[in-house]
Amino acid sequence: MLAEKYAARIDQIFSKYPTKRSAVMPLLHLAQEEFGYVNEEAIQQVAVLCDMDPTQVQSIAGFYTMYSERPKGKYWLQVCTDLACALRGADKFHKELKEHLGVEEGGTTEDGLFTVEHVMCLAACDKAPMLQCNFHFEENLDMDKMKARIEAWRAEAAAEKSGAKKASAKTKA
């Protein structure tokens, strides 16, 4: 349960807002961190924490593209294809990125590492093509740069995995 596991963090979030319901968005972020996406369990728990109806929480989670309502890859790539970015080649970049990773819109690679989807304006219109990876911006992209970033993320994920294996082997020894 979020309430027990993150009691101190939740208190800290509530302390910044005048009412419990105004803390719904940071609590949805916390729930997304915990569950990997905003699932039914997350909605129910956030609704209880904020004294809100689950339907209201669901409508907020559904409105904002920063909340995912389905499982996604370790690297969540949100490409802006809104008008200003489209004029700087974002549509072509988005299409080539999906082809490179072998996924459809909103799809996740078989290794579970990358999810690709398009979103509306992320307020970096002059730096297109651009995307947001787990809320971090990658700007002025082309496919060469993107392929290098993808390889770096693959290496990072592999290093984390092998580090976790070593830690687990040490614990067992």
Half-sphere exposure of 119 (CA within 13 A, CB side): 23
Q: What is the dihedral of CA 68, 70, 71, 74, to 10 degrees?
A: -30
- Binder of ligand FES out of 125, 133, 143, 157 (CB under 6 A): 125
Min dist CB 19 to ligand FES, Å, is 32
CB of 89 to ligand FES, least distance (A): 11
Q: Does 135 bind ligand FES (CB under 6 A)?
A: no
Question: Mask of contacts with ligand FES, 22-61, x by CB under 6 A?
Answer: ----------------------------------------
Contacting ligand FES (CB under 6 A), which of 34, 69, 82, 138? 82
Q: Which of 128, 131, 146, 150 binds ligand FES (CB under 6 A)?
A: 128
Name the token pair of 102: 């072998």
What is the smallest separation between the CB atom of 95 and ligand FES, expressed in angstroms? Answer: 16
Q: Report the nearest approach of ligand FES to the CB of residue 80 (Å).
A: 3
Does 69 participate in binding ligand FES (rule CB under 6 A)? no
C-beta atoms surrounding 119 within 10 Å: 16
Least distance from C-beta 137 to ligand FES, angstroms? 9
- Binding piece for ligand FES, criterion CB under 6 A, among 13-21, 52-60, 80-88, 91-99: 80-88
Q: Does 121 bind ligand FES (CB under 6 A)?
A: yes
Q: Point out which residues bind ligand FES (CB under 6 A).
A: 80, 82-85, 121-125, 128
